[in-house]
Amino acid sequence: VLFFLRYRQLPDHHYPVIYQDCLNATMKFLKGAGAYGVEPSQVVICGESIGASTVAMVSQALAGRTNLPQIRAQVLISPVLQLLNLQLPSFREMKNVSFLTLDIFMTCLCRYLDNDLFWQAALMKGACILPEDWKKYWKWLSSDNISNRLKNKDQEPQFPGPFNESAYLETKQWLYIKNSALLEDDEIIAQLPEAFLVSYGYDILRDDTMLYKKHLEDRGGGGPMSWYHVEGGFHGCVVLFDRKPFSFPCSQDTTNGVVSYIKGI
């Protein structure tokens, strides 16, 4: 059974509507899964891009709940998992790669979070984050967690920049855990269902997946974690898997990987 979820979208609906809609729909489905011929303990939730981010947040929200069946597994395809370090290698190296350029990424986020693009420069420099928050989260957000084989030899910029209080006051929601699944508490991480993470070689969000992968490994995620990297892939390619002649090898590669994983659990 494949259950496809639609949620309210921009320009009429802003943060946190996507998360709330998906959480409510998932809870309702879990409660009534039997009516669809589904074994409640075998539900896998899957998403791509912002949908994958929502899957991560819904999985965290439902982790350990005793009044609902537990999610069997979560599949995250090129998710947004943190909004703090926008100077990771993939953000700098892939900023002009289609279909998700850095400008498009920032525009969409600012619109969803109802922020003015005026603050983009401060957000990119990390100047809108309190120094004590950087101290708390830096060990999870640092590019030191990224494999050297995924980095080029360019010198990394000075980061974060000097704290900007005005930017902080206008963009505080960028730090909310419900917008950055990477920042969730250890207690929740330890109760998560198993995860299948998909990343692409030509994607500004590649390193978000790398950080979350290491995060789950180091902090002992509740279930097993698998990583599937498509070196020649780019953001959004999976949606073209059945759109010949516009499909790419990476589109089918992603689809095959996800299907194989789900069949194997």
Residues assigned a catalytic role:
49, 203, 235
Return the half-sphere exposure (C-beta side, CA atoms, 13 A cut-off) of residue 70: 13
- Reduce the secondary structure of the chain to three states and give it as a string: CCCCCCCCCCCCCCCCHHHHHHHHHHHHHHHCHHHHCCCHHHCEEEEECHHHHHHHHHHHHHCCCCCCCCCCEEEEECCCCCCCCCCCHHHHHCCCCCCCCHHHHHHHHHHHCCCCHHHHHHHHHCCCCCHHHHHHHHHHHCHHHCCHHHCCCCCCCCCCCCCCHHHHHHCHHHHCHHHCHHHCCHHHHCCCCEEEEEEEEECCCHHHHHHHHHHHHHHCCCCCEEEEEEEEEECCHHHHCCCCCCCCHHHHHHHHHHHHHHHHC
